[in-house]
């Protein structure tokens, strides 16, 4: 039996970074969870879509009832929870604050893993695994680390029915146990650089939770590296945040701002923290990935040393970097609309869904044969496709179900389409008749080329839309009053900053906003700090966050 308890460091408790997570989120999700099957099954129109043009264009009668998914503009948090429930991404676990990631939600995480795994290995990193139980004494070795993590630690005090001689920490992050092992593996400069990564779960005892964004347990990858010089460690930290940036733009279609965290916001135990910050649909910031230059902080605490080429003993320089299932939440909140998810094609578990349509039994065989042929053509070309040939639901129900799950393209095939050798294709990102095209040839090369082109268009369109939204909600400010006004309007504030840590904490206390980062891309010219009026070398971005 394992006995878990929180640490007694109550004096270190601090509120989570999100200042406005709705307290009733659990009740909302649970209420909608037990309702969701009935509205999805019963409230959709039973009228199926036919090959008739007007029926297909005028599909509003088959839309998801408004009470199933709360409009984003009405209550963004309720909308987010509704989408997670109705799109079958996750559910609450029996332990408060935990979540069960359902197959469709996990498939999105797998797409993230597949891309990053390739990039990590291309840059010389190897996957391995460390235990999730860490001796508490390890956590205590690095002072700022234990101070930063104590409020979130879960401890094991009993094992096998007996009180443990030393309490164990359930992994909140692995810098300490990694250093314990690095000390045994690293002896000479010939052992460096040491570049490893692990895909694992971590536990952080959050006070307030939100599925995917903030839960007691979540999944992530955490990279850990050791180097022979501070320059190598800095290059590594920058390299990895660049990989995260490319992933966000190229795969998730999320235009992040990449930069350096302030001293106040730097990871506990790091010298520098680099971050990618994404603007969600409610204009809050989401820290979507981080890369830390740890310097020699942990190697000194653990005695992780090597003998250099001159025979001198040195402590190694280190980095750590991570991205988590929080990114799934970021994808939902960046692209989704009132009908549910909108998934960028490059990370969508299903890129194309085929919905066959027939009214009479004698039409069924020909329609299904055509649908199977189309599926085979697309699958052979590497497209992730699903044929929804179930008899239990109407085509209208299917349209809305797959729209809710964010499938980028829908192909409709009815008797008239079979006769004409064509299909109807609808884009998820363009609702209504504007996103529907009739008469696309079933001829394999034509269909394959058209579908691939449209998937590329959707990927680009989602990124362009997100960039426009982000840029229209960032305000350049030159005074503290300007900053407060921008934050009060729900926007991000960008302005010159060289003030103290105390001033930064004052901004957080008075506005609820924090410095998200000092962007890598900085304007040229002389700058004046918006708070003190003193010269400033950099602009910072302030925003409320999750």
Contacts 24+ apart (CB under 8 A), 56-60: 56/412, 56/424, 56/436, 56/438, 57/432, 57/433, 57/436, 59/396, 59/399, 59/432, 60/432
Q: Determine the pLDDT at residue 507.
A: 98
Q: What's the Cα-to-Cα distance from 257 to each of 12, 235, 243, 435, 485, rounded to whole Å? A: 30, 19, 13, 30, 22
The conformational region for residue 267 under phi > 0 = left, psi -120 to 50 = alpha, else beta, is: beta
pLDDT of 274 strictly over 60: yes
Q: What's the Cα-to-Cα distance from 109 to each of 50, 123, 316, rounded to whole Å? A: 36, 21, 33
Across 498-513, average pLDDT: 97
Strand partners, 441: 422
What are the structural domain ranges in the chain?
A: 77-335, 352-454, 474-544
* pLDDT digit string, tens, across residues 96-135: 999 999 999 999 999 999 999 999 999 999 999 999 999 9
Say if 77-335 and 352-454 have the same CATH topology: no
pLDDT of 542 strictly over 90: yes
Candidates 109, 61, 13, 494; CA nearest to 332 is 109
What crossing angle do the helices spanning 361-380 and 444-472 adopt, rounded to 10°? 70
Helix (H, G, I), strand (E, B) or coil at 148: helix
Instruction: Judge contact between 167 and 156, C-beta under 8 A.
Output: yes
Q: How far apart are CA 422 and CA 17, in angstroms?
A: 52
Across 336-340, average pLDDT: 96
Q: Determine the pLDDT at residue 208.
A: 82
Q: Determine the pLDDT at residue 36.
A: 38
Q: Determine the pLDDT at residue 276.
A: 98
* pLDDT digit string, tens, across residues 140-182: 887 776 676 778 899 999 999 999 999 999 999 999 999 999 9
Would you say domain 77-335 falls under CATH 3.30.930.10? yes
Output the CA angle 449-465-379, nearest 5 degrees: 25
* pLDDT digit string, tens, across residues 347-385: 999 999 999 999 999 999 999 999 999 999 999 999 999
Q: Determine the pLDDT at residue 145.
A: 67
Q: Determine the pLDDT at residue 35.
A: 35
Q: How far apart are CA 68 and CA 41, in angstroms?
A: 11
The overall average pLDDT reported for the chain is 89
Q: How far apart are CA 417 and CA 326, in angstroms?
A: 42
For the chain, give the percent of residues with pLDDT over 90: 82
Output the CA angle 286-72-277, nearest 5 degrees: 10
Q: Determine the pLDDT at residue 178.
A: 97
pLDDT of 43 strictly over 50: no
Q: How far apart are CA 199 and CA 220, in angstroms?
A: 6
Residue 25 neighbours by CB under 8 Å, 6+ apart: 77, 78, 81, 209, 210
pLDDT level of residue 6 (50, 70, 90 thresholds): very low
Candidates 36, 86, 41, 62; CA nearest to 412 is 62
* pLDDT digit string, tens, across residues 44-77: 222 233 333 444 444 434 444 444 899 999 999 9
Q: Determine the pLDDT at residue 23.
A: 35
Q: Which CATH number fits domain 352-454: 3.40.50.800, 3.40.50.2300, 3.30.70.360, 3.40.50.300?
A: 3.40.50.800
Instruction: Judge contact between 289 and 276, C-beta under 8 A.
Output: yes
Q: Determine the pLDDT at residue 4.
A: 42
Would you say domain 474-544 falls under CATH 3.40.50.880? no
pLDDT of 3 strictly over 70: no
Q: How far apart are CA 366 and CA 388, in angstroms?
A: 15
Contacts 24+ apart (CB under 8 A), 524-527: 527/496
For the chain, give the percent of residues with pLDDT over 70: 87
Instruction: Judge contact between 304 and 298, C-beta under 8 A.
Output: yes
CB atoms within 10 A of CB 481: 10
Which runs of E-coded beta strand occur in 29-137? 90-92, 99-101, 126-127, 133-135
Q: How far apart are CA 244 and CA 54, in angstroms?
A: 45
Q: Determine the pLDDT at residue 135.
A: 95
pLDDT of 242 strictly over 80: yes
């Amino acid at each position: 039996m394992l006995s878990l308890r929180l640490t007694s460091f109550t004096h270190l408790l601090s509120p989570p970074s999100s200042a406005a997570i709705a307290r009733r989120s659990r009740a909302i999700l649970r209420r909608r969870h037990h309702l969701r099957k009935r509205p999805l099954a019963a409230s959709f129109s039973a009228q199926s879509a036919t090959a008739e043009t007007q029926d297909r264009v005028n599909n509003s009668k088959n839309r998801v009832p408004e009470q199933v998914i709360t409009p984003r503009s009405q209550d963004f948090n309720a909308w987010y929870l509704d989408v997670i429930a109705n799109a079958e991404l996750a559910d609450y676990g029996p332990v408060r604050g935990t979540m069960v990631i359902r197959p469709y939600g996990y498939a999105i995480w797998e797409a993230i893993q597949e891309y990053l795994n390739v990039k990590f290995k291309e840059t010389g990193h190897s996957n391995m695994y460390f235990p999730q139980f860490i001796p508490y004494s390890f956590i205590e070795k690095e002072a700022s680390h234990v101070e930063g993590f104590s409020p979130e630690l879960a401890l094991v005090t009993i094992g096998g029915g007996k009180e443990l001689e030393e309490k164990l920490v359930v992994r909140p992050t692995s810098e300490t146990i990694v250093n314990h092992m690095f000390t045994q593996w690293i002896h000479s400069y010939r052992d460096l650089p040491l570049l490893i990564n692990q895909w694992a779960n971590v536990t952080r005892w959050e006070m307030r939770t939100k599925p995917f964004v903030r839960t007691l347990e979540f999944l992530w990858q955490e990279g850990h590296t050791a180097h022979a010089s501070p320059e190598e460690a800095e290059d590594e930290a920058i390299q990895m945040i660049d990989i995260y940036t490319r992933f966000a733009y190229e795969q998730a279609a999320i235009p992040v701002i990449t930069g350096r965290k302030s001293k106040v916001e730097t990871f506990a135990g790091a010298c520098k923290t680099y971050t990618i910050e994404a603007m969600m649909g409610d204009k809050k910031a989401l820290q979507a990935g981080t890369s830390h230059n740890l310097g020699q902080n942990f190697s000194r605490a653990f005695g992780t040393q090597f003998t250099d080429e001159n025979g001198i003993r040195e402590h190694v320089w280190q980095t750590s970097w991570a991205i988590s299932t929080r990114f799934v939440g970021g994808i939902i909140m960046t692209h989704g609309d009132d009908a549910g998810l909108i998934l960028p094609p490059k990370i969508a578990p299903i890129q194309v869904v085929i919905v066959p349509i027939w009214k009479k039994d004698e039409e069924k065989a020909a329609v299904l044969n055509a649908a199977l042929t189309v599926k085979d053509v697309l699958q052979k070309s590497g497209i992730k496709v699903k044929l929804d040939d179930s008899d239990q639901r109407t085509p209208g129900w299917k349209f809305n179900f797959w729209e809710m799950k964010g499938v980028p393209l829908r192909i409709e095939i009815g008797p008239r389409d079979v006769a004409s050798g064509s299909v109807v294709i609808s884009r998820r990102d363009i609702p209504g008749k504007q996103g529907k095209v009739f008469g696309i040839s079933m001829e394999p090369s034509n269909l394959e080329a058209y579908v691939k082109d449209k998937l590329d268009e959707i990927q680009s369109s989602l990124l362009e839309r997100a960039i426009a939204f982000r840029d229209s909600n960032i305000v350049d400010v030159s005074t503290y009053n300007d900053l407060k006004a921008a934050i009060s309007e729900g926007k991000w504030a960008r302005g010159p900053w060289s003030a103290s840590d105390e001033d930064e904490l004052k901004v957080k206390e008075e506005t609820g906003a924090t410095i998200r980062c000092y962007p890598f891309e900085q304007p040229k010219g002389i700058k004046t700090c918006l708070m003190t009026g003193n010269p400033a070398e950099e602009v910072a971005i302030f925003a409320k966050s999750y």
